[in-house]
Amino acid sequence: MDAWAIPARKIDAEIRNFENACPFPEGEITRMANRRRILRHLPKKSIGAEIGVFRGHFSEMICNVVAPRKLYLIDPWTKSGETFGWGKEYTNFGALKTADARDESILRARRGGCSEVVVIEEGFPACAGQIAEKLDWVYLDASHKFEATLAELQRVAVIVKDDGVIAGDDFAINPESMHHGVFQAVHAFIRETDWCLIDCAHANQYALKRFETHGRLP
């Protein structure tokens, strides 16, 4: 499929085909609605990147809420193989193809109405050089392991504007959680930089700004 070539009038039908072939877990749909709150920290009509896109459900929400004038969607997708090696029900127990997840993401971003979508099918931070400008924000939902997440945050800080926002998912406080590495990495990043935590109260989301700019949030 060439997701860019699908006429706008057929996008809904194509997305329904993906949904029917691989239903998204109901619990994650509910959690995604709760994740929406963190988007209030991202400026409207901005330029940003979502790192770790999967099937584009949150990409579409970003487009609907933030209305970015340019959105980078960054995920290795097919560079990781034909199918995902994780996820159980998230990937229809291994049946979901990475190419289908990429195409669904593009269609969802298009349906969300973003003015310009740039797809980078690579891992981050290796692909950071492909981002053509400083960003107003980055939403990070990628590795979830401590060392990898810390490296991602360190590189994101370089490509975000001085008054920009870093936000992300799976900020799991519980040490027993498989995603507790994100919590640890965010705090390690804060300790070594001039970034501070401005939100972490809902649905395991977090948002960061630099000390000297966080007081100017709208």
pLDDT tens digit sequence for 19-69: 999 999 999 899 999 999 999 999 999 999 999 999 999 999 999 999 999
Please check the confidence at residue 1 and state whether its pLDDT lies above 60.
yes
Instruction: Give the residue-averaged pLDDT of 171-190.
Output: 97
Backbone dihedral angles phi then psi of residue 212, each to the nearest 5 degrees = -75, -10
Exposure string of 10-30, with b = 16+ CB inside 10 Å and e = fewer, is ebeebbeebeeebebeeeeee
Cβ(62)–Cβ(41) below 8 Å? no
The rounded distance, in Å, linking the Cα atoms of 179 and 135 is 26
Q: Which DSSP helix (H) or strand (E) runs through 207? A: strand 206-210
